[in-house]
Amino acid sequence: MAKSKKPRLETPLAIDPNSRATVSGPADPKQLVDSEDDLTAKMAATQQLAATLPFNANKALEYDSEAAIHPEPGVSIEPADPIVGSSTVQEKNGSDKVGSGGPVIGENKTNGTLDRVRVDSSQRTLTTNQGVPVADNQNSLKAGLRGPTLLEDFILREKITHFDHERIPERIVHARGSAAHGVFQCTKALGEFTKASLFAEVGKETPVFVRFSTVLGERGSTDTARDVRGFAVKFYTDEGNWDLVGNNIPVFFIQDAMKFPDLVHAAKPEPHFAMPQAGTAHDTFWDFASLMPEITHMLMWAMSDRAIPRSYRMMQGFGVHSYRLVNDAGASTFVKFHWNPVAGTHSLVWDRIGAVDAGRPSDAQSQSGQLLRRDGAGGLLHRACRPRHRFFERSLVGGTHSFLR
């Protein structure tokens, strides 16, 4: 289908719109060199200058060894108009963004105070990267009132993508922790719930890698901070790798994942002096919490003894996500996964944390390393002292099943 031609204007414009194209210059430069439009004149004069030198007369000198040592001046041509050598002529085109188009010569505005770049954005509309207005960046798009989050929510995807690409080392979550290789052993077959091979038979062992960590602190922060503890397990099954991510507290600060970047930004240390470390005792977090009634349940847990576990082997683990287990018949069951420590759930005494930090701020890491080294050196630990957890599946319909020792 042929493109329709735009009607030619009876009165020519003062500015040639063709000169703003970035793909080519004027078709007939001879007639446009003296154009009143600076951009058109610059492009036309540049083409005219190039036409006066159709080939490089200096090319032959590149192969002369003597010329390489004692080069002769090459051929050069002076442009008829100095505008050809200018880097840009846009300064004379005034607009609401660039200004009047008549800058004060000899004055550098960047040497002034920062007042020149301060703006009031209170009446500005929040937009995506593509300029689409955003009416709500706190609630993701769902299928129904309580349905699953939809991937078609491009505002959610953009916000999470920005957060995931933040690579500021001191602001990364779960930067401080310990990890260990181990074995998952099934103690009860769960064929009635799932066809996953790691739950198929009693005694089946699956290699795992377990990570324990604090959430807010930097890499060198203390292990005894009042904070949520991360609890993640990677199962190396014969059907592929399975990552089960969780925390040592069964509830969470938010209900909608779209608020997660805002939660982390609010909980991290104040950016101007990087304090407090590994904690939320500052106004930014509590401003966020005051606007989020749903956070109250989690705050009760965070202020309890569960937020100061005695060691990584003495804290519970709760899978964050709900899973759908499907058996061979195609029947499905929604479940949550829990971990209970064999050594029992124990916490530090708040008044003793200062003494622990003073003597050994890396207390949890030190305990984990010593226990694993001693256990691997000859099994010298009592069974209850080894880092061991029992794995539970809790059906959202009802019932609890233990299938790990």
| Amino acid 30: pLDDT | 55
d(CA 296, CA 289) in angstroms, rounded, equals: 8
Reported as a pLDDT band with limits 50, 70 and 90, residue 5 is very low
What b/e sequence results for 359-386 when a residue is b if at least 16 CB atoms lie within 10 Å of its CB, and e otherwise? Answer: eebbbbbebbeebbeeeeeeeebeeeeb
- Which single residue is written with the structure tokens 């009607």? 7
Residue 199 CB neighbours (<10 A): 24
- Residue 182 · residue 210 · CB < 8 Å: yes
For the chain, the average pLDDT equals 79
Handedness of CA 317, 320, 321, 322 (dihedral sign): positive
Reported as a pLDDT band with limits 50, 70 and 90, residue 22 is very low
Q: What is the mean pLDDT of residues 193-216?
A: 92
Of the chain, the percentage scoring pLDDT greater than 90 comes to 34
Chain CA centroid to CA 82, Å: 48
Of the chain, the percentage scoring pLDDT greater than 70 comes to 75
Report CA-CA distances (Å) from 316 to 269, 337, 347, 402: 27, 11, 11, 14
Reported as a pLDDT band with limits 50, 70 and 90, residue 15 is low
* Residues involved in catalysis: 174, 247
Give the burial class of 112: count Cβ atoms within 10 A of its Cβ; 0-12 exposed, 13-18 middle, 19 or more buried: exposed
Ramachandran angles phi, psi of 292, nearest 5°:
-130, 85
Q: How do residues 105-163 score in pLDDT, each as one tens digit?
A: 677 777 888 887 888 888 888 899 888 999 999 999 999 887 889 999 999 999 999 99
- Residues pairing with 183 in the sheet: 207
Q: What is the mean pLDDT of residues 309-315?
A: 89
Structure tokens at 145: 């009132």
| Amino acid 372: pLDDT | 52
Q: Select the highest-mean-pLDDT range: 54-68, 182-196, 209-223.
A: 182-196
Cis peptide before 276 (omega within 30 of 0): yes
Q: What is the mean pLDDT of residues 197-205?
A: 92
Does residue 388 have a pLDDT over 70?
Answer: no
Does residue 261 have a pLDDT over 90?
Answer: yes
Residue 180 CB neighbours (<10 A): 18
Q: Which residue has the higher pLDDT, 308 or 80?
A: 308
Reported as a pLDDT band with limits 50, 70 and 90, residue 356 is confident
**Dihedral, CA of residue 137, residue 139, residue 140 and residue 145, to nearest 10:** -150
| Amino acid 233: pLDDT | 93
Q: What is the mean pLDDT of residues 38-48?
A: 79
Reported as a pLDDT band with limits 50, 70 and 90, residue 93 is low
| Amino acid 382: pLDDT | 36
Is domain 154-402 classified as CATH 1.10.3720.10? no
Reported as a pLDDT band with limits 50, 70 and 90, residue 364 is low
Does residue 263 have a pLDDT over 90?
Answer: yes
Helices (H) and strands (E) in the chain, counts: 9, 9
Q: What's the one-letter identity of residue 42?
A: K
| Amino acid 37: pLDDT | 72
3-state secondary structure of 99: strand
Lowest mean pLDDT: which of 155-159, 168-172, 310-314? 168-172
Q: How many Å is the maximal CA-CA distance in the chain?
A: 97
| Amino acid 163: pLDDT | 92
Reported as a pLDDT band with limits 50, 70 and 90, residue 262 is very high
**Is beta strand 389-395 parallel, antiparallel or unpaired with respect to 323-326?**
unpaired
- Residue 231 · residue 305 · CB < 8 Å: no
3-state secondary structure of 157: helix
- Residue 214 · residue 278 · CB < 8 Å: yes
Q: Which residue has the higher pLDDT, 114 or 199?
A: 199
Reported as a pLDDT band with limits 50, 70 and 90, residue 258 is very high
